[in-house]
Amino acid sequence: GLGATVGPQRQRLQQGLIVFQVALASLLLFGCVLLARSFQVLENAPLGFNPRNVLTTDIYLPDSKYGTIPECNAFFDSLMAKIAALPGVKSVGLTDALPFSLDDNEGFAGPFGVVGQPEPDKGHRLRTTLEMISFDYFRTLQIPILEGRGFDAVDLKGVNRVVIVNRALADTYFPGQDPIGKQIYDFGDVVGRARTNYTIIGVVPTIFQVTPTQQHIQFQTYYPFGQPHPFRTADSGTLVVRTDGNSFGVMPTVQKIVASMDPDVPVSNAGTFDQLIGKSFATREMTLLEVALFSVFALVLSLVGVYAILARLVSLRTREIGIRVTLGAEVADVVRIVFGQGIKIVALGLVLGIMGGLLMGQYLVSLLYGITSYDPVTIAFVMMILGLAATLACLIPTLRAVRINPITALRE
């Protein structure tokens, strides 16, 4: 019998190791599928703007030549007019806080208050992202104006202190009201300046300024690029150029235009908007790939273990199986002996692995988007994959057992 050749303790140890391997494979596969499903949802999430066929490049104006806001505005206005006249260019915009240029949108943020509403304590002040933009910025990124209007030439001169807010801010602080005409204010006194009120003239959708899992601040405000703001300067910005398809083809011409206007003005970080967004997802893709490789390795290791222990089981119980067949055992009985043993081991490992995966999911919440850490589709998929793989691992030893010749077995 089996116990005569392999001691019970050693047998239990072998089976325990296989259970552990299956559990580890289940755990890693669960994490891999969970991250993959989250990443798929993330990639398909609407950004709130259209990055296709858009070129982006950073422009920095030296303080020695462009020390005032009017000087900066004059340079950028002239530059955008020349680029807009190029063949293949549909529109040009300017921003000082390009989406996906930072790891999280905390870097775009500043405190604000709502006129007519109680001011919170210093440690609980409201925060919003601040973005200085040109009047054609929304059109270039195809961000619609939901209510009110966009900026015009008068706004860009800084005559009127105006602001455009996102849907989240409007709905949160002016529920059931028309937000147009309402006011918010900055905390200029934080940096030694007077506070300033800004009148809301428009509402736009909430966009993703970073990957959704890193977008910690939900309120977004936009100001005219020519309008002074205590938390922003006008000496640098990012051009966004929408083309008819050949974004890179326009880049050399843009660089020549900048050089012709002022050779001391550097142009950097030129590329397509799609590339910039792709870089933001690159770390997540690498993490997913690493987990996937470990999952495959653990899965293969566990299946080899299941196969090996069942093959050994058949080898050790050849005589027993032959006797059972001689005494009238059916094929189903033989299958139950071998296949059933393998499935029990796999089932126990799978249950332990899924339980571990559910616990691990609690630590992956910050990486997940659009799904829960106990996603039922992920659980079902892992069970199906491991079930199919385990069936294949058990199949060869089982077929070998079924084909045992009872006469030959009895002679052993």
| pLDDT reported for residue 4 | 43
Please give the Cα distance from 147 to 144 (Å, whole number): 9
185 CB-near residues (< 8 Å, 6+ apart): 112, 113, 114, 115, 195, 196, 197, 198
| pLDDT reported for residue 317 | 63
How far apart, in Å, do the first and last CA atoms of the chain sit? Answer: 12
Amino acid occupying residue 307: Y
| pLDDT reported for residue 2 | 40
CB 136 within 8 A of CB 147: no
Q: Which two tokens stand for residue 355?
A: 């339980």
Q: Residue 291: which of 23, 1, 11, 29 has the closest Cα?
A: 29
CB 184 within 8 A of CB 165: yes
What's the 3-state SS for the chain? CHHHHCCHHHHHHHHHHHHHHHHHHHHHHHHHHHHHHHHHHHHHCCCCCCCCCEEEEEEECCCCCCCCHHHHHHHHHHHHHHHHCCCCEEEEEEECCCCCCCCCHHHHEEEEEECCCCCCCHHHCEEEEEEEECCCHHHHHCCCCCEECCCCHHHHCCCCCEEEEEHHHHHHHCCCCCCCCCEEEECHHHHCCCCCEEEEEEEECCCCCCCHHHCCCCCEEEEECCCCECCECCCEEEEEEEECCCHHHHHHHHHHHHHHHCCCCCEEEEEEHHHHHHHHHHHHHHHHHHHHHHHHHHHHHHHHHHHHHHHHHHHHCHHHHHHHHHCCCCHHHHHHHHHHHHHHHHHHHHHHHHHHHHHHHCCCHHHCCCCCCCCHHHHHHHHHHHHHHHHHHHHHHHHHHHCCCHHHHHHC
| pLDDT reported for residue 412 | 58
| pLDDT reported for residue 210 | 77
| pLDDT reported for residue 215 | 74
Residue written as token pair 């259209």: 50
| pLDDT reported for residue 392 | 78
List of the chain residues with pLDDT < 50 = 1-5
Q: Specify the long-range contacts of residues 292-295, CB closer than 8 Å, at least 24 apart.
A: 292/32, 292/36, 294/28, 294/32, 295/25, 295/28, 295/29, 295/31, 295/32
| pLDDT reported for residue 138 | 96
pTM: 0.73
Q: In 10 A of CB 210, how many CB atoms? A: 22
CB 29 within 8 A of CB 301: no
Please give the Cα distance from 253 to 60 (Å, whole number): 18
| pLDDT reported for residue 5 | 47
| pLDDT reported for residue 56 | 94
Which CA distances in Å does 318 have to 82, 171, 314, 321, 398? Answer: 86, 74, 6, 5, 12
**pLDDT digits 0-9 by tens, 219-244:** 999 999 877 776 667 788 899 999 99
CB 247 within 8 A of CB 55: yes
CB 45 within 8 A of CB 208: yes
Q: Which two tokens stand for residue 91?
A: 């529109």
